[in-house]
Each structure stands twice: as structure tokens, then as C-alpha cells.
Amino acid sequence: MVGRSAKRFAGETPIGRKRRARKMAKVLAETHPDAHCELDFTTPLELAVATILSAQTTDVRVNLVTPTLFKRYLSAADYAGADRAEMEELLRPTGFFRAKTDSLMKLGQVLVEKYDGVLPATLDQLVALPGIGRKTANVILGNAFDVPGITVDTHFRRLTNRFGWVQEEDPVKIEFQVAELIEKRDWTMLSHRVIFHGRRVCHARKPACGACTLAAMCPSYGTGPTEAAAAAKLLKGPRARELAIAAGIDPDLVPAAAVIAPEAP
């Protein structure tokens, strides 16, 4: 099945790929109207901190820790002058808490020394900060500063390859190649929608191909079960039954546990 699907797109031209990618992006917008940044924050600094903490853990776990953290540390100066042992204890639930404490304290120090305590708003400046890489910088730019950015996490990398948008594993190359396909104004929300799709429908080991709104446009259709009942059981998240309806299958095929089960990181 997946072989037949891939053959349909074997001779696709670059302009054909761009048109298909934009059509898929539009369908993703319709499929996941609730897509958003799942890290809780109110300021650019809070988002920077949350993204640093999100490494090797879930957004849910980070959001359990940050309310206390954000009340205790209000400014870059607070992070710079933090008591290491106290911060480590607060961050312990997120894993790698010693390294994360080190990153946050160094981040605070650099912000105080170079930027008067204010988080900068350009990619080059952000990636030079402790604990912030290109993926993190794009999350901050897109969600805190409204500067379009493509966030290439594990879901985005997997799905863009499955979609046939790229044939690449390097995150930076994927970012640049997808940027050529999708209009800049849509980059930030596309990232959220692809990530939502990866968590809820297009899973790593067994995607719900038979319950996917992108099935007709995807060269990887058939990687997972294509029969409606089997695919419906793989849908996850609070809108699992709505996702089934969007894909044209009976929402009653979706188990109740799928709706309330926590999503994969």
C-alpha cells in the first residue's frame, strides 16, 4: 500500500510539491484548529525558560513546574542571582535539572550583562544565548515576538519526510527546505499543526493512516493501518472523535480512552 502511494508522487515536479505542500498545510489548519504553543508563558523570558526546560521531557511536566518558578524568578537578574540548590530542587521534576539550572543562571547573567535584562528578538542573538538552539529560538520568535519561524522537532522531522516535502534528517536543512514550500506568514502555525498531527494522528510507530485527513495527498499512506476501525483506535487527544469525523469515519470507532489519554511528547 505504501509503495503504491509513493509511486503516485515519484515524478512530482518541484512546483507540484509546493502546491501539494500548501494544500496539505491548508488541510492541517482545518484539521487542527486548536493547534497552539503548549508551553504556558506570559512574557518572552518565560517562554525562553520554558523551552529550555522542555528538553527531554513533556510540555505537560514543564507546565507543572513553571508556575512556581515564574513566581520566584521574575527577571533575568533573578535567574542570574539564583541560589543553585534552590533552583535545582524546583527543576528536579523536569529531568537533567543540574544542567538546566546551569543554563538558566547563565542565561540570566548574559541577558543582564549584554541586553539590560531584556530577551533579544533576533535569531542570531537568541542562538548565541546559553541553552538556546535554533529550534528553541524559532519557538520564541514565533510565539513571543510574532516573527515567523519553523520549529523542527522530532514530530516535524518525521512528518515532513513522510509527507514527501523533504528527504532530509538535518533539522536546519529541513527548516530551509520547508521554508521554500510554505508562505512565511504561515511558518509558526504550520509548526504547531504538524506537531499536533504527529502527536494525535501520524504516530512514529503506527500512524492512523485510515483516519487521516491527509491520506489522499500523502506518499506514505499505508505506513499504518488503512482500515477505518483499526486506524480510529490510534487517534489520540481531546479532539480524537472530531478528527475521525474530519477524516470521514465513524467517531464511535474511537475508544473513550483515546480522548482522555495524555498525548505523546
Residues annotated as part of the active site: 135, 153
225 and 206 in contact (C-beta within 8 Å)? yes
Q: What is the CA radius of gyration of the chain?
A: 20
Q: What is the dihedral of CA 245, 249, 251, 254, to 10 degrees?
A: -120
Question: Quick check: helix, strand or coil at residue 20?
Answer: helix
Length of the chain as a residue count:
265
Which triple of cell numbers denotes residue 141? 520568535
Q: State how far the Cα of 46 lies from the Cα of 53, in Å rounded to an integer.
A: 11
